[in-house]
Amino acid sequence: MEFEVNADRLLDDLKIIKNFIGTSKSSPDITKGIYIIADDELIIEASDFRHGCRIIVEDAEIFRGGECVIEGTKFINLISTLSNRIKISEKRGSVDISQINAKRPQKFTMQAYIDGPDNFPIMPSPGKNAKKTIADPDILKRELNLVKFAAEKVNTVFSGDDINDIAQMIVFDRGLIYATNQQKIAVHKNPSINLEILHYPKTAISFLNNFENNVSIEIENDLFFMTDGRIFVMIKTPIVDNLSHRVKSIHEDDPIEEVVYYMDEAEVNMFVHSLKQLNIFSESTAIKFNKQNIWIASTNSDSPHRTIQSIPVEAIEFQQPMYGVFSIDYLLQSLRAIGEGKLYIPKTKQQPLKMDNEEVSVYIAQMVGNFEDMLDQRIREVTK
């Protein structure tokens, strides 16, 4: 194998490939390598079995075909020190790298993996039954970023791998885009994105930064593929339950709301600041929703209402005071994501609290707890 290529162009592509190299101590050695193929085109590949990437490197001149697998991190680090045109050749497992027309002689030799091409993780290609669509990667990123805050593991003894698998996904389902860990849901609708059941890992959002043009997306069982013609990405996802029906029923439900607030940016910032202070003492908060303010108090077992604050925000609809217990983290994430918008308090504790703006709706499940009497007592103490 022998070819010449622009070092800067190769390095740009290697920076993309780096995201697909196995990095953990338990990763097989072969997944820490980069597969180089010189044929009609120069191709580089990396795969950790769950994710894979193949890139056609532009402006390469191939003199002799061949293939090898080389240690990824050292190869990338070396190429980052070179400039202009470089020559790379492989013979009997030795890979020579040199800079063309350098001011002083330089040659670097690396050892290729023995039997590397035979052992390298095979990247599957889409089958004839794969469902295909075309999408703008920038629009996909925007949609993913709108709801990604709701995609996270559930830290509870009652959660299993199946819950945490779906909890780390963003789901596209025929114009519905959502993320949920079954304790909170973020939902957005965009009919122009007509993907049919795509579970997109939150950790793979950054992969979309690499595409320069519209991408073809093909979905087949637990695999999906994205390509713009030069860069090809494969992602393997766990088989998870389809929660779209449940999410739609919550999103399209029209519950009776006892209290509705419209919070401007200043009121949202005040709410966030107060919750951050409360979070020092407690992971959850007991809340009383009044007509002219919102009371929040800590729920730590030592002293349930030692910390209490009033947030002055006036309800735009009010039937009666309402109470609830919520995760402070979930409230903070949702308020930051929604910003200026509406806050809806349902009539029953079985229904979630809702926040929304013009783009996203968020639903937060209420926690188990009965703090009404103690909360009212503490309010009386601080308002004497």
Quick: pLDDT tens for 43-90.
999 999 889 999 999 999 999 999 999 999 999 999 999 989 999 999
Q: How many domains does the chain have?
A: 3
What is the per-residue pLDDT for 370?
84
- Mean pLDDT for the stretch of residues 255-278: 95
Amino acid identity of residue 329, one-letter, is D
- Residues of the domain holding 17: 2-119
What is the per-residue pLDDT for 286?
94
Does 259 lie in the same domain as 223? Answer: no
Does 275 lie in the same domain as 224? Answer: no
Does 146 lie in the same domain as 99? Answer: no
In a domain, 210, yes or no: no
Token representation of residue 323: 């109470």
In a domain, 126, yes or no: no
Residues 6+ apart with CB under 8 A from 349: 324, 366
Render 51-102 in DSSP notation, one character per residue.
Answer: EEEEEEETT-EEEE-EEEEEEHHHHHHHHTT--SEEEEEEETTEEEEEETT-
pLDDT at 210 over 70: yes
**Residue with the larger pLDDT of the pair 259 and 156:** 259
Integer CA distances (angstroms), 348 to 18, 324, 325, 330, 371, in order: 50, 9, 12, 19, 15
Report which listed range, 22-26, 99-103, 209-213, 314-318, is most confident: 314-318
Does 267 lie in the same domain as 230? Answer: no
What is the per-residue pLDDT for 188?
94
What is the per-residue pLDDT for 163?
63
What is the band of 201 on the pLDDT scale with cuts at 50, 70, 90? Answer: very high
Q: What are phi and psi of 350, to 5 degrees?
A: -75, -15
Confirm if 168 and 152 have CB atoms less than 8 A apart. yes
Does 140 lie in the same domain as 73? Answer: no
In this structure, the number of other CB atoms found within 10 A of the CB of residue 84 comes to 11
* CATH number assigned to the domain comprising residue 100: 3.10.150.10
Task: Return mean pLDDT, the chain.
Answer: 91
What is the per-residue pLDDT for 166?
81
Does 152 lie in the same domain as 34? Answer: no
Indicate the residue among 119, 141, 159 that finishes a domain: 119
Does 190 lie in the same domain as 97? Answer: no
Does 102 lie in the same domain as 8? Answer: yes
What is the band of 165 on the pLDDT scale with cuts at 50, 70, 90? Answer: confident
Does 366 lie in the same domain as 259? Answer: yes
Quick: pLDDT tens for 268-306.
999 999 999 999 888 999 999 999 999 999 886 555 447
Q: What are phi and psi of 26, to 5 degrees?
A: -85, -5
What is the per-residue pLDDT for 137?
94
What is the per-residue pLDDT for 157?
43
In a domain, 127, yes or no: no
What is the per-residue pLDDT for 384?
81
What is the per-residue pLDDT for 302?
55
Integer CA distances (angstroms), 220 to 127, 148, 198, 242, 303, in order: 7, 23, 10, 15, 53
pTM, two decimals, is: 0.87
